[in-house]
Amino acid sequence: MIFADFRCNFNSILFDVGFGSGACSSKGLINHSAPKITQWMETYMLEMGLDAHLHCSTNGPHGTMWIGPDENPILDEDRDGKFKIFPDGSLAIHDLNFEDMGVYQCIVKNKFGHDMAETFVYPMAVML
């Protein structure tokens, strides 16, 4: 059995495994790179009155923050349940209306850096 300081590369991210047998596994690894947003929508169009769900998928551990069209951070408890931020970083906008239109920014960060993606939300008139 070999005991040495190993590193593994998962999806172009270098991880320190530490001392051990040399087996690479993503469980318990320490990420030494900035998070990268891997999935989002540039434009999101949905009928008014429905709940919008904006995705912000990333790699690695990070903190997620959303900025609304008014350039203020969005908090779960804002506006009587209007918004919900899920553990995976996605944002729900309850009962979409015309006032919700604009650019929403998803910002992810950790101690190694940050990434940002923008989604333009366009509420559409209800189709009859």
Percent of the chain's residues with pLDDT above 90:
45
Q: Tell me the pTM.
A: 0.73
| Separation in Å, CA 123 to CA 52, 54, 72, 75 | 9, 13, 20, 21
Q: What is the pLDDT of residues 77-106, one digit of tens each?
A: 666 789 999 888 899 999 999 999 999 999
Q: Which domains are seen in the chain, by residue range?
A: 1-32 (no CATH), 36-124 (2.60.40.10)
**Does the pLDDT value for residue 9 go beyond 50?**
no
Greater confidence (120 vs 6) lies with 120
pLDDT tier, 17 (very low <50, low <70, confident <90, very high otherwise): very low
